[in-house]
Structure 1
C-alpha cells in the first residue's frame, strides 16, 4: 500500500536534513528541566500502571536522545521514526538500543503490547484528518493503564505552516500547530483519558509555547484503589451517630 503523501514528504525531508538536525539536537532535553521532569513522571506512571515489563515506544524518535533517556531510567524501549537516515544516525549514536523505520499512522504491533508511548514534537507533522486514526492506533497497541506523553508546539489557535527550506536544503515539510484543548479532545475521542496538561512559555529562540499532555488507556480497577484518571476507593461505612435531643 502506498504511503500517504504527507508521510513521503516528511520522510524525504528529514532524510535530507538528518545530519544537520542531529548535530544541532544531540540531546534537546539537556537544557529543558520541565521536559525532563515530565519524562520522569511518564516513567513513574508506567511503573504505577504495572506496565514496565513490556516495551515502551518512542514515536518520532529522531536522533534517539529521548529513547536513550527512557533506557537510562530503566524502561525497555525502542524508537520508531519515518526517516531511514534518522534511524541510521540513532543506531550509530546508541548502538545498544533498537530503532526501527516506521510510522505512527500504522504501528505494526499486536493489540495491547506496549507499556507506554512517548511522542515529543512528532504529531506536528500529522494532518488534522489523520490525527484521530493515529490516536486510535495508540489506544489499540497500549496495555490497559499504560500512559501516553505528547509534546508539541502550540498557540492560541490551530494553524498550519509549510517549510520549503531548512539547513540550506530543499524540503517539503508541513507543520500543524494545535491548542492543548484540540489535541486533548482527539485523545478523548479515541478512548484515552486525560491525566495532565502543561503549557510552557517560549524559551530562548523559541517563538511558540510548548504544550505537553499526559493521557492513558483506561484500565479496569476491581480493587477500587486509586489510579491516575480514576476514582479512589469507596468511603467506608460510618457507624451510626447517637441520637441527639
Structure 2
C-alpha cells in the first residue's frame, strides 16, 4: 500500500507454505465444534455472523483455523465465504487479546502466543483466498473483490460511514474506499504486532504482507497515510 501503509513484499507466485502445527491438536476445537464449518444457506450465514461477531471468540476461531486437522475442508470453507461472512471473520481475528491472553479448551495462550495464533489464522485465510484463483476455482478479480469488500466492512455491524442505501454513486464508492483504507491499516498494524519471533510466525507475517498487497493491488494506490500534529490517519483519494 502506498505511503508505507504496508511494507513492500516480493510478488512471487511461490508455492503454498506447508504450515506447521504450533500447538497440540488433541484438545483443540475444530471449526465444526465451534459451529462454523456446517453452516448452510441464509440461516446458516446468520448463525455464522452471530458466532463471528462475539469478541470473545477470537482465540477459539483462530485456534480452529490453525489447528483443525481437516485443513482442506477448512480451506474450501474460507474460499466460499461471501463478503458478509468474511468480514466478521477478519474483524474478530484482529481483536487484541488481553494482557493475560486466553484459554482455548484446556490450552492456555499468553498474550504473545495469542497474537501469534491470530496472525497465523489471518495469513492462512488470505493464502487460501489467493489459492482459490491460482487453482482455477474463481477468477483473480473475484478474489480481489472479495478481499476489498470484506475489509471495507470490518466493523461491529458491517457498515461504513457515509454510505446511503444505494450501492451506486460516487459517494458510496468513496465511503467504501475510506472504510477499506482504514480497516486495511488496522489489519496491517495488527499483523505488525510482535508476539514471538519464531520462524513460523515471522513467515506468517511476511506472507500476509505479500498476499494482502496482491489482493488489494487495485485499491491500495488510493490509500495514503497523512501525518498531522494530531497524529497519523489514513485517507482514500480517488486520484
TM-score normalised to structure 2 length: 0.33
Greater helix content: 2
TM-score normalised to structure 1 length: 0.32
The higher-RCO structure (CA 8 Å, 6+ apart) is 2
